[in-house]
Structure 1
Amino acid sequence: MNQPLPFGPPGQTGRSDLTQVMQKVVRGDKQAFSTLYDALAPLVFGITIKVVRDRAQSEEVTQEVMIDLWRQAARYRPEAGSVTTWAATIAHRRAVDRVRSAQASADREQAQAARDHSPAYDEVAEQVQTRLESEQVRRCLRGLTELQRQAVTLAYYQGLTYREVAESLRAPLPTIKTRMRDGLIRLRDCMGVTT
């Protein structure tokens, strides 16, 4: 069962008369706008409902378009087309904007829902990965010379600086830097790290 349009029936004003009515609307004539409203609201609603496909939103868009016609009346140029064409263009743009806005809102909500329902952090898998990496590091450390292993261990596991490592091992600083560099290169190669 079709409900009647929320707007009055199309007025008896002819399309050619709408240009004159529009000129009065530009001067702020509220009665002329009422005439314009009666003549164009059904057309605007028809265009809007075809695009938006939701009666309530189409009614809102129609109201917005009619307010635009009132506010932008001075922008109407008869040489560019009829008042009906101008109103139809505004109605179509507003309807498309409403659909795009609704789609963007739905996309944002869907993305948020997807983020909220992301798989739980797999703590067990993370622990296994950490254990495997630790074992690989220990195995690779065993492949270093004793001097390289001492230097790397003091620097990376005890947090000593190169100078502190040199003092701890009673070796010259350049020697420690060389041991560290060579040891780190061997570790990198052993662990399959590419640079």
Structure 2
Amino acid sequence: MDPETVDAELLAAVAAGDQRAFAALYDRYSRQAYSLARRVCVDPDFADEAVQEAFLVVWKDPGRFDPARGGFASWLLMLVHHRSVDVVRRQSSHRRRHLLGMDEFADGVLPAEAGADERAMTNVVGGLVRKALDELSAEQRQVIGLAYLGGYTQAEVSAITGLPLGTVKSRTFAGIKRLRDLLAGLGRRHDGLEVW
């Protein structure tokens, strides 16, 4: 019997509440599903969570699978990919909220306001960095913005953008190198002013 027929029979049994059929589907696809989730999530616990969520969809609502749109394996792996991206986003959001809490703590410990000279220097440096970022390609700006300004890991950037991890890494590397070159004169003179 071909795999698609086996999948269709197992899925029909799952729709009827057959736990053994569900276990058989899990046994058939859990390794592939976990491998995909691990590539997206990197963290093994997050990958487990994504796989569990995808299989939960299969158990609770097997009728969502439409054989006219492709095979069961493709549909399941698409579910795993979407759940993996969701898990990564949830964790990133949690981390950002946690970091915001740390910022509030720091506000209570650190001086409330920088001096005028520090603010002026920050504005000058910030302007130079913004100008340098504008010189990057849109692709480099995207990955650097997500990684360094958004606080995402390269694996998370890959999941968010849909780009392969290798592409994210190479764009980040090239973008950082270009920024370094553009900002090399930052400590020297800029528009006739000594920056520092």
**Smaller-chain TM-score bracket:** 0.5 to 0.7
Give the 3-state SS of the residue equivalent to 1:117 in structure 2: helix
**Matching residue's letter, 2:59:** W
Bigger radius of gyration: 1
User: Paired residue for 2:84?
Assistant: 95
User: Paired residue for 1:184?
Assistant: none
Structure-to-structure mapping, 1:47-58, within 5 angstroms? 47-58=36-47
Structure-to-structure mapping, 1:150-165, within 5 angstroms? none
Structure-to-structure mapping, 1:74-113, within 5 angstroms? 74-113=63-102
Q: Give me the TM-score of the superposition, normalised by structure 1.
A: 0.52
Q: Does 1 or 2 have the higher relative contact order (CA < 8 Å, sep 6+)?
A: 2
Q: Identity, % of aligned pairs?
A: 23
User: Paired residue for 2:147?
Assistant: none
Using the TM superposition, give the Cα deviation of residue 13 of structure 1 relative to its aligned residue in structure 2, in angstroms. 7.8
Give the 3-state SS of the residue equivalent to 1:74 in structure 2: helix
Question: Does structure 1 residue 63 correspond to structure 2 residue 52?
Answer: yes
Greater mean deviation of Cα atoms: 42-51 or 63-72: 63-72
**Matching residue's letter, 2:99:** Q
Give the 3-state SS of the residue equivalent to 1:28 in structure 2: coil
Greater mean deviation of Cα atoms: 55-64 or 45-54: 55-64
Q: In 2, Cα distance between the equivalents of 1:104 and 1:76? A: 30
Using the TM superposition, give the Cα deviation of residue 61 of structure 1 relative to its aligned residue in structure 2, in angstroms. 2.1
User: Paired residue for 1:25?
Assistant: 14
Give the 3-state SS of the residue equivalent to 1:105 in structure 2: helix
User: Unmatched 5+ residue regions in structure 1?
Assistant: 1-11, 123-195
Q: In 2, Cα distance between the equivalents of 1:110 and 1:82? A: 42
Count of paired positions: 112
C-alpha contact 1:33 1:70 (8 A) present in aligned 2: yes
Question: Does structure 1 residue 114 correspond to structure 2 residue 98?
Answer: no
**Matching residue's letter, 2:13:** K
Using the TM superposition, give the Cα deviation of residue 109 of structure 1 relative to its aligned residue in structure 2, in angstroms. 1.3
Runs of 4+ in 1 over 4 A off after TM superposition: none
**Matching residue's letter, 1:96:** V
User: Unmatched 5+ residue regions in structure 2?
Assistant: 114-196
C-alpha contact 1:19 1:82 (8 A) present in aligned 2: no
Give the 3-state SS of the residue equivalent to 2:88 in structure 1: helix
Match of 2:61 among 72, 78, 85: 72
Q: Give me the TM-score of the superposition, normalised by structure 2.
A: 0.52
